Structure 1
């Protein structure tokens, strides 16, 4: 077995994360939560379907209404 000095033990790349310190946490009921990092927030984490709740339906947002996405035109569409 290789002897590890203090610098090796302090290296975060070789240290195992403590319980609850990683990017993923698991509730007592088995539901998994991933922590956001960088520019990622909760809405960017993909959701998995749950058989008892049906397929995942994203919450309604501004992109669901085509009037909010399409540019307003003056009526004449010819170039």
Structure 2
């Protein structure tokens, strides 16, 4: 490789989907998922993003549960 090869799936559309997903999660929507059917780097990024969104969703649910328990003990 000469260092100038572009990833075919890492185009503007793919980057736009990634930005939309990141924005949604930042705004609190942990149910957002990116399609993992893309080839190459974008597919890998989507898989990592989805895993992070899953983990964030679990942590958020647990914090909410504990907060309700603690709030109910007062």
Give the shorter-chain TM-score range: 0.3 to 0.5
Greater percentage in helix: 2
Greater percentage in strand: 1
Query: TM-score, structure 1 length as denominator?
Result: 0.32
Query: TM-score, structure 2 length as denominator?
Result: 0.34
